[in-house]
A and B are shown apart, each in its own frame.
Chain A
Amino acid sequence: MERTFMGYERPNGDIGIRNHLLIIPTVICSNQVSSRIMQMVPGAVAIPHQHGCSQIGADKDRTFEMLAGTGKNPNVGAVMIISLGCEVVDPVALSEEIRKTGKPVEFFDIQSAGGSVKAISYGAEVAKRLMADLQKQEKVPVPLSKLKVAVKCGGSDATSGLASNPALGVAADSLIGEGGSIVIGETTEIIGAEHLLAERCATPEISDKLYYIVDRFEKEVERMGADMRGGNPSPGNIAGGLSTIEEKSLGCISKCGTAPIQGVIEYAERIPEHGLYFMDSPGNDIECVSGMAAGGAHIVCFTTGRGTPTGAAVVPVIKITGNQMMFRRMEDNMDVDVSDMLDGSVSLEHAGGRIWQEILDVAEGKWTKAEVLGHTEFSINRIGPSL
Chain B
Amino acid sequence: MITTGADALYMNERDHVVTALREIGAGETIKYRNAAGLQEVTTLNDIPFGHKIAIAEVDGGADVRKYGEVIGRAVEPIAAGQHVHVHNIEGIRGRGDLGTKETE
> Roughly how many angstroms separate A246 CA and B5 CA in the complex, as a whole number?
29
Question: Are B93 and A245 in touch, CB under 8 angstroms?
Answer: yes
Question: Are B5 and A344 in touch, CB under 8 angstroms?
Answer: yes
Q: Which chain A residues border B104 with CB–CB below 8 Å?
A: 195
Distance of B40 from chain A, by nearest CB (Å): 18
Given contacts A192-B91, A246-B91, contact A241 B49 (CB under 8 A): yes
B2, B48, B49, B52: most-surrounded residue (chain A CB, <10 A): B2
> A362 contacts the other chain (Cβ, under 8 Å)?
no
Q: Identify which of A191, A225, A240 contacts B93 (C-beta below 8 A).
A: A191
> A92 contacts the other chain (Cβ, under 8 Å)?
no
> A238 contacts the other chain (Cβ, under 8 Å)?
yes
Given contacts A158-B51, A250-B71, A344-B5, contact A243 B95 (CB under 8 A): no
Q: Which chain B residues border A229 with CB–CB below 8 Å?
A: 90-91, 94-95
Chain B interface: which size bin? Answer: 35 or more
> B79 contacts the other chain (Cβ, under 8 Å)?
no
Question: Are A244 and B100 in touch, CB under 8 angstroms?
Answer: no
Given contacts A218-B93, A243-B52, 19 further A-B contacts (CB under 8 A): A157-B50, A159-B50, A192-B71, A192-B93, A222-B96, A224-B96, A228-B94, A229-B94, A238-B85, A241-B48, A241-B51, A243-B91, A246-B70, A247-B91, A250-B69, A250-B71, A305-B50, A342-B9, A343-B2
> B-contacting residues of A (Cβ < 8 Å)?
157-159, 161-162, 188, 191-193, 195-196, 215, 218-219, 221-222, 224-229, 232, 238, 240-241, 243-247, 250-251, 305, 323, 325, 341-345, 348
> A-contacting residues of B (Cβ < 8 Å)?
2-6, 9, 11, 19-21, 48-52, 66-67, 69-72, 84-86, 89-97, 100-101, 103-104
Q: What are 18 inter-chain pairs, A to B, with CB distance below 8 A?
A: A157-B50, A158-B52, A192-B71, A192-B91, A192-B94, A196-B69, A218-B94, A218-B100, A227-B96, A232-B94, A241-B20, A241-B50, A241-B51, A244-B71, A244-B90, A246-B103, A343-B4, A344-B3
